[in-house]
Structures are given as C-alpha cells and as structure tokens.
Amino acid sequence: MRSLRFISAEALVSHPQVAKQSLDGVAHNLYPLLFKASYLLEQAEVIRTLLERWPLEEFWLSALLGPRSEPPEDLRDRACRACLEACVQGLADHVLRAGGPRRLRVADLTGIRDVQVQQCPCGRALGRWGRTELLARTCCRLQAEPLVARRPIQVLADLFVTEGNFKVVVQALGPSGPAPLRVHCLSFRADSLGPSQLLHVLRLAGPGELRRLEVVHNVRLHAGHVQQLLAQVGFPQLASLTLPAKAFDAPPTSTPTPDGEDPLLTSIAWELSQMTQLTELSVAFSTLTGKIRKLLGPLRTPLRVLDLANCSLNHADMAFLADCAHSTCLEVLDLSGHSLLGLFPSTFFRLLGRAAQTLRILTLEECSIEDSHVSMLILALSPCHELCELRFLGNPLSARALRRLFTALCELPKLRCVEFPVPKDCYPEGTAYPQDELAMSKFDQQKYNVIAEDLRAVLLRAGRGDIQVCTPLFGSFDPDIQETSNELGAFLLQAFKTALENFSRALEQM
C-alpha cells in the first residue's frame, strides 16, 4: 500500500509546471521521493529539473528505484528511455547551472536491469549501449564548455563499448582538459572491437575499480592477447570475467614447447590467481581439453559461477571439477556441449552431489542426454534442493522421458524455471543431434503444443504451478545483442568479406 506522502508526491509531479515552480519550497529529504514518483509516472521534465537542482551529495539511481525506497515497488527493470535521458540531461544541467554551491559529488547510474518486456508506460527502452553513448556524448559536450573550475562529479556507470561508440567513449574517458563529469566504470562489456582497441579503452576505463568484465562474440582474442590483457592492464577488484570463444587458442606464430607445457596458460592462470575477488568465470567455446586443473587450480577464491560450455572437457577435467574446492561453492554452472551421462556419469554424479547445497542454476544444453539417461539424471539432480533454474535444450528426449523427468523435478522445492527441448517425437524420424538452426525449427508445432500442455499438467497435478516452463529454440533473450544486432550484422558481413578476400589472394598466389 502506498503512503499518503507518496500519493501526494505523485499528485505534485503529475503537474510538471507546478512541480518545477514548487521545488524551491520542498525539503531536501523529499527529493528522492519526488524522483521515484516522477520515474513511475514517466514525468521526464520533472526528473530533469530534480537532477538539475539535486541538493544532496549523492544520487544513487538503483537505490532510489529499488524496493527499499518508498514505495516498495521495484522499478529497476524499467530502462525507460525518456526517464534515463532526463537523468543524464539533468546531470549536465546541474553542472552548467550558474550560481550557488554544488553539493552533488557522486552520481551512480548503475543497477538498471535490461529486460525483454518493458513495464514502463511508453515501452521504449534505452539499453546499456545506448546509455553508454548518451553518457559519453554528454561528457564530451561538457568538456567543450567554458566552465568555472570546480570539483568534478564522479559518475559510476556500466559501459558497453563496440566499434560504433568506441571513439566517443575514449574521448569521454580520457579528456584532454578539465572534465566536470568523471566516469568511473564498474562493469564493462566489449563487442566488435580489435584487441588493441580493447586494451586502449580498458586502460582509460579505470581497471583498478572494475568489478565485471565481459569480452564477447566478435572480439577476436587468442591466448597471447588474454595474457597481455591480464598482465599489462591488471584488475585487482575484478569479481566476474567473461572471455570470448577461442580465447585460449595458441597465437598463430607460436610453436609447441618440447615438454608439451603451455606457458601462456600458466601465465594466465597465475594472473587469475592474483584476482582475490574473482568468483565468476566464463570461458565457453574455448578448447580446454586437459587444462582445467592448470587453469582453475591456482585460484585463491572459490568460484560461484562457472561456464565451461563446449570446452571439450575430458575425464581428467571432470574429475578435477568434481573434487576441487570450487564444486562445493558453485551457484551457477554451465556444462553444455559435453556428453556428461554418456562419458562421465560417475564424476558428474559426484560433482552435483558436492554442489547440491549451493547450486541454483544448471545448464546442460546439447549434452546428448537420451531417454536411457533419464533415470541417472533424476538421481543426480535429486539432492539439488536449492536448484531454481534448469536448462537442457537440444537433447534428444522423447515426450515419455520428459514426463518422467518433470515428475521428478516436482520434488525440487525451489525450482521455478525449466527450459526443455522440443521432444524428438515432434521431429522426423532419424533426425540427427546436435541440430543446426534450420533443422531445429522444422518440427510439428501442433504435436509440441499437446506435449507441452501435458507436461504443464504434470506440474499442476503435483501442486507445482509455480514452475515456469518454456522452449526458447534459439536461446534466451539477450538485451545487449538485441540492442546492437544491426552493428553486429555489419561487423560479421565485413569479416566474411575480408575472409573471402584473403582466400582469393591465397588462390592467386597458388
């Protein structure tokens, strides 16, 4: 229930002109209340004025929109374009405002959650890439203004940098003169950049404060680049690291050592061991056969999140995972792309048994799980009472096997989300697995709908209507890919063109 104070705040901000004229008589401790009311009602004009006149020393966007502020409604998943643009514009107005003392020291713009369906009335989102460009352009504009020298405002931000906004972000992070807004990066995502661009922008972003680093998709790194990145830049506070596909491949010019050792991997592992805050590591789609002990063994802190999807793990790797210190602390684990129950049943059992007290999210996509493996899978999952999400798309399971599995999943008390594959009954007989995207999409939709309803009925009969089930054929929604899809498409076309040109030159030389 909303308080009388908040109802009054909503009534005031519903009339923007009256609200702006009344701010001089408003107590400073009511500004946060007026801000949340304005954000809820999408009163961008009022938000901008509130930021321009912000009388407090700190502005924490996540805290102001979160459930601990009045009212307890959580607005952090509203990446409303109009409201977020008004916040940054108001911050610029605050800097440009003449006369009077300026109390604002820190503006924290982090904590917004990008979701598929926007709950704000306008439905128009400003994603992480857009927020990065908006803030960068605002910083550059203010750097060009002839301002009176004052203490700069620290702006804490989550940055998403691609080729499309690289130049403006570099200018914002490394100003040539006075900068009224100083950007401090807590989370950094990079895509469609070259290795030298990545190194350059990360040095400017303040790696000493960085908590989360995601280098994804179209950043072409090999082990030499990764070693250089970790050794030369340094990330003492890093808690989460994501590296792109093939990041552990040997450089093209490297030669194998006589003893078979991998000095680059040894160096990378040592650099990771110096990150005493590191608890999340994603190295999916890197070939790490026989290398997991060397990579994870030196780490000083146990990992809570580990993504080893499609890493070509062998028996030694799985045995190390099952017995290492990380296994008893894992909360999120992705082992997709490995035939776990066919090749490593005993170590997989042991791994889940040790992780059962903490494991919340488990992903086993394209793991060659067949009907004959369902009993083993049920047994392996049975102690995982903390499990909230289970994803096992791309496995050749029949409707009958899925019914057995769903019956067993009802016994997991905290389970809330299941992503299950299209039953193989819905595909033509003899369909090969793993499937490509074209084959995956050619199934009997009507038959699938009947089976899906039957599986939901299994849950309802067991009193587990709280479990949401779905089959996202092409993966879960990724707001960052969605936002930059046009740029990524152009990048891939250019990469394809370059590859064809190189191939043509090679043919000519032959």
- What is the reported pLDDT for 138? 97
Contacts of 100 (CB under 8 A, 6+ apart): none
- Mean pLDDT lowest among 31-35, 91-95, 165-169, 251-255: 251-255
- What is the reported pLDDT for 146? 82
- What is the reported pLDDT for 24? 86
- What is the reported pLDDT for 478? 73
Render the burial of 270-280: b for 16+ CB within 10 Å, e for the rest: ebbebbeebbb
- Mean pLDDT lowest among 184-193, 228-237, 359-368, 493-502: 493-502
Kindly write down the DSSP assignment for every residue of 309-321, as one continuous string: TT----HHHHHHH
Report how many helices (DSSP H) and strands (DSSP E) the chain contains, helices first.
21, 13
- 445-497: per-residue pLDDT in tens? 999 999 999 999 999 999 999 999 999 987 766 777 777 766 655 555 555 55
- What is the reported pLDDT for 56? 95
Q: Which residues pair with 332 in a beta bridge?
A: 305, 361
- What is the reported pLDDT for 178? 83
Reported as type and span, the H/E element at residue 492 is helix 485-509
How far is the C-alpha of 372 from the C-alpha of 401, rounded, in Å? 9
- Strand 212-215 relative to strand 280-282: parallel, antiparallel, unpaired? unpaired
* One-letter-per-residue 3-state SS of 384-408: CCCCCEEECCCCCCCHHHHHHHHHH
- What is the reported pLDDT for 87? 98
- Report yes or no: 213 and 186 within 8 Å, Cβ to Cβ: no
- 329-369: per-residue pLDDT in tens? 999 999 999 999 999 999 999 999 999 999 999 999 999 99
- What is the reported pLDDT for 116? 82
- Position 501 confidence tier, pLDDT thresholds 50, 70, 90: low
- Report yes or no: 174 and 148 within 8 Å, Cβ to Cβ: no
- Report yes or no: 243 and 221 within 8 Å, Cβ to Cβ: yes
* pLDDT (average), residues 200-221: 94
- What is the reported pLDDT for 500? 57
The label of the residue with tokens 């005993």 reads: 346
Q: How far is CA 271 from CA 96, 251, 276, 311, in A?
A: 43, 18, 10, 21
* pLDDT (average), residues 371-384: 97
How far is the C-alpha of 338 from the C-alpha of 434, rounded, in Å? 11
Average pLDDT, the chain: 92
- 305-336: per-residue pLDDT in tens? 999 999 999 999 999 999 999 999 999 999 99
Helices (H), 214-279: 223-228, 263-273
Which residue, among 21, 173, 155, 19, has the nearest Cα to 88 in the 3D structure?
155
* pLDDT (average), residues 69-73: 86
Percent of the chain with pLDDT over 90: 78
Peptide bond into 71 cis (omega under 30): yes
- What is the reported pLDDT for 202? 96
* pLDDT (average), residues 31-47: 96
Contacts of 66 (CB under 8 A, 6+ apart): 74, 75, 76, 111
* pLDDT (average), residues 129-134: 96
What DSSP state is assigned to residue 169? H
- Position 160 confidence tier, pLDDT thresholds 50, 70, 90: very high
| pLDDT for 388 beyond 90 | yes
| pLDDT for 253 beyond 70 | yes
- Mean pLDDT lowest among 93-102, 137-146, 180-189, 194-203: 93-102
Contacts of 156 (CB under 8 A, 6+ apart): 106, 107, 108, 109, 110, 184, 186
Residue with more model confidence, 438 or 465: 465
- Position 504 confidence tier, pLDDT thresholds 50, 70, 90: low
- Position 120 confidence tier, pLDDT thresholds 50, 70, 90: confident
pTM above 0.85, yes or no: yes
